[in-house]
Structure 1
Amino acid sequence: MKAAAAALVSVLLVTVTTTTASAADRSPGARKWQPTVRPHATIAPGHMRSDRDVLPKGFSKRQADEAETMEARATDGCQVYWPAPYEVCGAIRDKYNELGGPGGFLSFPKSNELTNPDGVGKRTEFINGPIYWSPQGGAHPVLNHFFAAWARNGWEAGPLGYPTSDEIVNPDGVGRRQHFVSGDIYWKLNEAYAVRGAIRDKWAQAGWEAGYLGYPVSDEFATPDGIGSGARFEHGTIYWTAAYGAHPVSGGLLTKWELSGYEKGPYGYPVADQQPRGSSWDQEFQFGTMGFPTDPAAAVDPDDGDADPTVGDQVPVTWGDFAADANTEGAGRAVVQAGPGSLEPCTAGESCMHTTMAAAEDDPPDDPVIDGPNTQGAFISPLCLDQAWDGQWRTQRKHACMIWKNLDVDVIDTKGAEIGSIPFTVRTGILTSHKSGEFQQEFRVDFHGLTGKTGKPTFRYKLTYNNAPAGSYSVDGAADGSPIKSGQSKVIVVKWKEQAMADGALKYPVVNIAWNFGNLDPDVVPGKQWGNIRVANVRCDSTMKLSNGKFRQGCVFPGITPEFKLTSVTPEQTWHVAEAITSGLPGAAGRPLHRQADKSKRDINRQTSCPRKGPVADARRLSGRSCDEFPFASSNEGAAAHPGLGRTVHANCNVKDLPISTGPDGYSVCMIDAKQNSQSGSLLGKFYGEERVVDQDAFSLATSGGAPPGTP
């Protein structure tokens, strides 16, 4: 009897009591229960299930034995899943069994039923996540990314409340969603985010994840001003304010709103959904209508040349056409010197060109014999005629010229002796046009009195255009290899032809005319040395349009800063610009403006300086006047460059919200005559087109004949 009794082993049963989880410790792995141990019964060794079955990884024999004992004593509505020593009860048990119990994705339980901090809901934690129960939603698991998103939003105590569904596969077969009392959590591939309230309702109107916004990529966030909230989606955002409700902003409108500074910028919050306008989109904001690519108000408000500049339909053909476009008569404009022509080094024993400072006949006879077209000076500007003839390029925006005198060829015979000389002068001019991708060049060599024995000299030349084949240019005039006579001028006119360019493209062609002098006399050694006139500072672009909307090429010399002249034609705007520059703002020749061709950025400049709606616009409004800003909205230096530095120049401007001040940075606003304002904008657009002022090009202003607006 004693031996049998000695063989009996006392086995401990575990009676489990639970404690409530703190709000700070809500991870699925948290264990918030404490076991209380008391002796209960004796069982013969080898009779426990753990003695016969292999335990799943992670469980001890003690846990398995506890679970087996608990199974025998499980309370009504509860179940123990050996070898986990925990009871799973009620609706949570039913959901767990529905999901496959320990063989499902949740695996084994790792807690008894716990009461949530609100004292109402319950949860049981499993190895791979919890199941939550509430009277409102029933029992549902919340796992992985969904659990993380729910945690970020405060679990059941946050704005989402308790889950009301399991995870649901979305119609696209990619993403998933889970519903909660006051919102949803959506997941796609990498992360899950909550969507709720008015933002969720607006997203629903937009087609949920299958609509144009796509999946959420953020939780709801508060705006910095504390007034609104928003949520980001794959292809847009939804913003909400109490005053205006929830509205999506997407596509180009969103890009533009972002550039403007979102709700802190000059447009403020969206107050309506976006609407189509032909191929564009419009959306109402607090202080104006935003459009993409351009604001619709730009079609009726003064736009400072914001509309795409257009060029004339008529293509120049003749020398006179090109000369008229290039304005070669403008001798009073700025002169810029570029590199001179060049002479390749001489070779000993050959006829050789050089520059001499010795006195020579500078000009051919009054009526020279011209071999080639008589251009009658169409290509040579007074810029060159009135300056030293030193072989330097002198350039304006659409034409350039060079005169190079005191050139001479030493004629060498076969014995190596110098037997004569050929003095000459080179003249060349280039004419470009804002209406054509072709540009034309005259090359003229004026021969003075040939001295000594010169044999039978010939004029030779060769052309190159970006190393392109001969079809890229055409030549009119003296033939290559034609004989040279004293008192004669050899003239060729080269048409450097328009090359194919994509719409919106720029190119910088490089052209060169090389020349030398051959000789048909067998007793004279012909020259192999070449002179070169190279042009590398032309720019051609295809960024501007005809009236029919098709792009038209044009060419200019971009190193010249064009000047926009404001006159008495628009006296109030001219006055405002002059006063603004005097107050320290850029625009004068030494501190030019730079064109901004991006429509969105121009609109942002305009809206910053001249809001179209709201209290500022209302306070400035005067009959017959419209808002004029400087620097122009179509410049990089426009109002958005210094949004906090607005000012005005005079009380008559009726801009009481801005101070009268000075300084090098900022922008100026004045309410001026509306017709003048509109006309000035048209003139600026014409200037951009005629001078081919492309994006980021510098330009300066000159003012004369201005007059201030009258007293408001």
Structure 2
Amino acid sequence: MDYSLVIAAAQAAGPCPLGEEPAWGRRVHALTVDLHLIAQQAAQDIDRLESASRFVAFLEEVEIEESSRRGLLTLRSPAGDTEHIRTEQQETDRGRDLIERARGLQGRWVLVFRYNEKASDKLQAEIDAGQLTPESGKTEAACIQPGSESTITARRMSELAARAPVAMPDYCFDLATGNGAWYYTRTDACSISVWTLDVTDIRTGELTGQIMYLQADLIYTGYDTPHWAHQVVIDKSGGWGNINGTTVSGGGSCAGDCTLAAGDKDFPVQTITETGTTYGDILPKSTVLGVGDIGEGRTTVTYRLANTSWVSQPSGVASTPSFDVRCDNATPGTAKIGCVISDYDAVDVVSLTGTNPDYARHVQAAQASGLPGAYPDGEPLYRLTDTALRNRNGDTACPQASSGGYPRPWKYSCDEYPFRSTWQGAFTGSLPQPAPYPGRTFNWCQISALPQNVTGPNGWSACMIPASQNSSAGSLLNRFYIKNRVIERDAFRVWIVA
């Protein structure tokens, strides 16, 4: 580790205020990461400068090339010859900075560093080995490689959001950096990656054209259907050179407990343009059938870019998520098969100002006392579906007054946490010891038989709340289980919001 960056970050953060050590440490950490990234970018830029050719020229004009959105610089050599060079796209950080710098130097003699982009390593190796030769007047080959993440901009994201056939979730635009990482919730997932198609003259190895595009993946499921979808959008962000008429088409597959009929693959041949969106999707179906069945599947969408004017076409691209979709016929309360992304623990959102405020207050107090299940980083709760064990949990936490339990005030009933429908319930959460862990309550809960001010992860809480709220909260919890396909021993958390 380069501790000089840490020292520099600490100096930039300034003195650590007394009592604010954690916040100061986080700021130093963030500054260290920023400095490391800046150093890496600077090293790359220096390497580019050292490999570039240098010459003196008079900068006559700076304009933006409409076809590629690159800066187009018109230079005149001391001998009077005119030459054009291009910058990176104006949407990228380097392209924008160079265009602004060039405009400030227009009408002056300048020292130019010219970096000629070459073909990708694979394509260059084929050219050097003589494996690519002109055919019928065609002298260009194409390949696809990951592009620069700096092409992800707010404008590009907003255009993509407006054009995606099935809308991408907001969190994808908030989190994605263009590196192809997957982000997901219980019901959907997304990924945005940056790609560049390079067109190369196979006689010289020089770059003669490019297509810059975003690949946007979206996977979405349904809690009441055995199908799910994987959509891929190809969104062109710029290009130049011999790229007119380039098309995209594709297909897909599903591995695991799933099938994919030919009629459920829809990625026809489409011409890539900057004003429209090209896309495809597949709709796999789970093979889960019988009651209690559970199955998992993982999709792959493939696509190819092609152009009849190229002598060699680029290889295809395959997009596969980092997780499975789980489908089941094992969720109590519904006879329908449904699917979720089970790698994401379900979250039950409960409002303090909603229809059941006393219920929400009890859950909040119980979690604050140390009991599990708090979102986002508390120990999760685990679903319990066995009816007899659920009843044991309820009877342990909230015994009836007729059985020596707590008396119920008028129109009130006993609410327990963790829920009786979890393995952390009052009885099952105490196993294997012979007696349940002790319970707890709070000063507004109207239960004098339980102690107050108890803390820690072991045990349970009981509280008297309006019977109507208790009944409503139970119904909403069951609805949450169904819509999130929370099956036996599935982890979940409860998020109390204002």
TM over 0.5: yes
Q: 1:563 aligns with which of 336, 347, 350?
A: 347
Identity %: 26
* CA distance in 1 between partners of 2:332 and 2:436 (Å): 35
* CA distance in 2 between partners of 1:364 and 1:679 (Å): 44
* CA distance in 2 between partners of 1:633 and 1:415 (Å): 74
Task: Name the SS of the counterpart of 1:626 in structure 2.
Answer: strand
Could you say which residue in structure 2 is the equivalent of 1:425? 214
Could you say which residue in structure 2 is the equivalent of 1:601? 389
* CA distance in 1 between partners of 2:484 and 2:172 (Å): 21
Could you say which residue in structure 1 is the equivalent of 2:416? 629
Say whether the 8 Å CA contact 1:620–1:671 is kept in structure 2.
no
Deviations 1:145-184 (A, max 9, x none): xxxxxxxxxxxxxxxxxxxxxxxxxxxxxxxxxxxxxxxx
C-alpha displacement at 1:529, in angstroms? 4.6
Could you say which residue in structure 2 is the equivalent of 1:352? 143
- Judged with a 3 Å threshold, the aligned counterparts in structure 2 of structure 1 residues 688 and 530 are, in CA distance, closer, same or farther, namely same
* CA distance in 2 between partners of 1:486 and 1:579 (Å): 54
Could you say which residue in structure 1 is the equivalent of 2:95? none
* CA distance in 2 between partners of 1:665 and 1:691 (Å): 27
C-alpha displacement at 1:483, in angstroms? 4.2
Task: Name the SS of the counterpart of 1:689 in structure 2.
Answer: helix
Task: Name the SS of the counterpart of 2:455 in structure 1.
Answer: coil
Letter paired with 1:666: G
Deviations 1:476-503 (A, max 9, x none): 4x514x4445655311232223434322
Could you say which residue in structure 2 is the equivalent of 1:466? 255
Q: 1:390 aligns with which of 173, 179, 188?
A: 179
- Judged with a 3 Å threshold, the aligned counterparts in structure 2 of structure 1 residues 473 and 628 are, in CA distance, closer, same or farther, namely farther
The answer on 1:519 being equivalent to 2:296 is no
Letter paired with 1:512: T
* CA distance in 1 between partners of 2:497 and 2:211 (Å): 52
* CA distance in 2 between partners of 1:533 and 1:462 (Å): 12
C-alpha displacement at 1:513, in angstroms? 0.8
Deviations 1:89-118 (A, max 9, x none): xxxxxxxxxxxxxxxxxxxxxxxxxxxxxx
Say whether the 8 Å CA contact 2:214–2:236 is kept in structure 1.
yes
- Judged with a 3 Å threshold, the aligned counterparts in structure 2 of structure 1 residues 560 and 359 are, in CA distance, closer, same or farther, namely closer
Say whether the 8 Å CA contact 1:427–1:443 is kept in structure 2.
yes
C-alpha displacement at 1:684, in angstroms? 0.8
Could you say which residue in structure 2 is the equivalent of 1:131? none
C-alpha displacement at 1:398, in angstroms? 0.8
Task: After TM superposition, list the pairs within 5 Å mapping 1:92-111 onto structure 2.
Answer: none
Could you say which residue in structure 2 is the equivalent of 1:664? 457
The answer on 1:504 being equivalent to 2:258 is no
Task: After TM superposition, list the pairs within 5 Å mapping 1:171-186 onto structure 2.
Answer: none
Letter paired with 1:572: D
Say whether the 8 Å CA contact 2:246–2:307 is kept in structure 1.
yes
* CA distance in 2 between partners of 1:456 and 1:563 (Å): 47
Could you say which residue in structure 1 is the equivalent of 2:362? 576
* CA distance in 1 between partners of 2:152 and 2:450 (Å): 67
* CA distance in 1 between partners of 2:149 and 2:417 (Å): 56
C-alpha displacement at 1:423, in angstroms? 1.6
Task: Name the SS of the counterpart of 2:268 in structure 1.
Answer: coil
* CA distance in 2 between partners of 1:692 and 1:542 (Å): 9
Could you say which residue in structure 1 is the equivalent of 2:487? 694
* CA distance in 1 between partners of 2:171 and 2:186 (Å): 13
C-alpha displacement at 1:356, in angstroms? 3.1
Deviations 1:179-204 (A, max 9, x none): xxxxxxxxxxxxxxxxxxxxxxxxxx
C-alpha displacement at 1:446, in angstroms? 1.4
Task: After TM superposition, list the pairs within 5 Å mapping 1:471-482 onto structure 2.
Answer: 471=261, 474-476=264-266, 478-480=267-269, 482=270
- Judged with a 3 Å threshold, the aligned counterparts in structure 2 of structure 1 residues 700 and 512 are, in CA distance, closer, same or farther, namely same
- Judged with a 3 Å threshold, the aligned counterparts in structure 2 of structure 1 residues 611 and 422 are, in CA distance, closer, same or farther, namely same
* CA distance in 2 between partners of 1:587 and 1:389 (Å): 33
Deviations 1:299-352 (A, max 9, x none): xxxxxxxxxxxxxxxxxxxxxxxxxxxxxxxxxxxxxxxxxxxxx994643632
* CA distance in 1 between partners of 2:156 and 2:477 (Å): 45
C-alpha displacement at 1:616, in angstroms? 2.2
- Judged with a 3 Å threshold, the aligned counterparts in structure 2 of structure 1 residues 599 and 457 are, in CA distance, closer, same or farther, namely same
* CA distance in 1 between partners of 2:290 and 2:262 (Å): 17
C-alpha displacement at 1:614, in angstroms? 5.0
Say whether the 8 Å CA contact 1:455–1:520 is kept in structure 2.
no
Could you say which residue in structure 2 is the equivalent of 1:408? 196
Deviations 1:354-379 (A, max 9, x none): 123387696779999xxxxx965633
Task: After TM superposition, list the pairs within 5 Å mapping 1:604-619 onto structure 2.
Answer: 604-612=392-400, 614-617=402-405, 619=406
Task: Name the SS of the counterpart of 1:420 in structure 2.
Answer: strand
TM-score, length-scaled by structure 1: 0.45
Name the Cα RMSD after superposition.
3.2
C-alpha displacement at 1:686, in angstroms? 1.0
The answer on 1:399 being equivalent to 2:188 is yes
* CA distance in 1 between partners of 2:323 and 2:121 (Å): 22
C-alpha displacement at 1:511, in angstroms? 0.3
Structure index of larger Rg:
1
Task: Name the SS of the counterpart of 2:331 in structure 1.
Answer: strand
* CA distance in 1 between partners of 2:149 and 2:490 (Å): 44
* CA distance in 1 between partners of 2:490 and 2:152 (Å): 43
* CA distance in 2 between partners of 1:694 and 1:571 (Å): 27
Q: 2:371 aligns with which of 585, 588, 593?
A: 585
* CA distance in 2 between partners of 1:543 and 1:573 (Å): 28
Say whether the 8 Å CA contact 1:461–1:516 is kept in structure 2.
yes
Letter paired with 1:633: R
Could you say which residue in structure 1 is the equivalent of 2:319? 532
* CA distance in 2 between partners of 1:397 and 1:630 (Å): 24
- Judged with a 3 Å threshold, the aligned counterparts in structure 2 of structure 1 residues 532 and 652 are, in CA distance, closer, same or farther, namely closer
Letter paired with 1:639: A
C-alpha displacement at 1:426, in angstroms? 0.9
* CA distance in 1 between partners of 2:387 and 2:158 (Å): 56
Task: Name the SS of the counterpart of 1:639 in structure 2.
Answer: coil
Letter paired with 1:699: F
- Judged with a 3 Å threshold, the aligned counterparts in structure 2 of structure 1 residues 413 and 573 are, in CA distance, closer, same or farther, namely same
* CA distance in 2 between partners of 1:665 and 1:399 (Å): 34
Moved over 6 A (4+): 361-368
Task: After TM superposition, list the pairs within 5 Å mapping 1:45-444 onto structure 2.
Answer: 346=122, 348-349=125-126, 351-357=142-148, 376=164, 378-387=166-175, 388-405=177-194, 407-413=195-201, 415=203, 417=205, 418-444=207-233
Task: Name the SS of the counterpart of 1:463 in structure 2.
Answer: strand
Could you say which residue in structure 2 is the equivalent of 1:457? 246
Say whether the 8 Å CA contact 1:625–1:673 is kept in structure 2.
yes
Count residues in correspondence. Answer: 349
* CA distance in 2 between partners of 1:580 and 1:345 (Å): 60
- Judged with a 3 Å threshold, the aligned counterparts in structure 2 of structure 1 residues 472 and 479 are, in CA distance, closer, same or farther, namely closer
Say whether the 8 Å CA contact 1:379–1:442 is kept in structure 2.
no
Could you say which residue in structure 1 is the equivalent of 2:26? none
C-alpha displacement at 1:678, in angstroms? 1.2
* CA distance in 2 between partners of 1:448 and 1:398 (Å): 29
C-alpha displacement at 1:626, in angstroms? 1.7
Task: Name the SS of the counterpart of 2:227 in structure 1.
Answer: strand
Deviations 1:516-541 (A, max 9, x none): 223323x5211235343435332211
* CA distance in 2 between partners of 1:631 and 1:433 (Å): 28
The answer on 1:677 being equivalent to 2:470 is yes
- Judged with a 3 Å threshold, the aligned counterparts in structure 2 of structure 1 residues 472 and 508 are, in CA distance, closer, same or farther, namely farther
Contiguous gaps of at least 5 residues in structure 1: 1-343, 369-373, 706-712
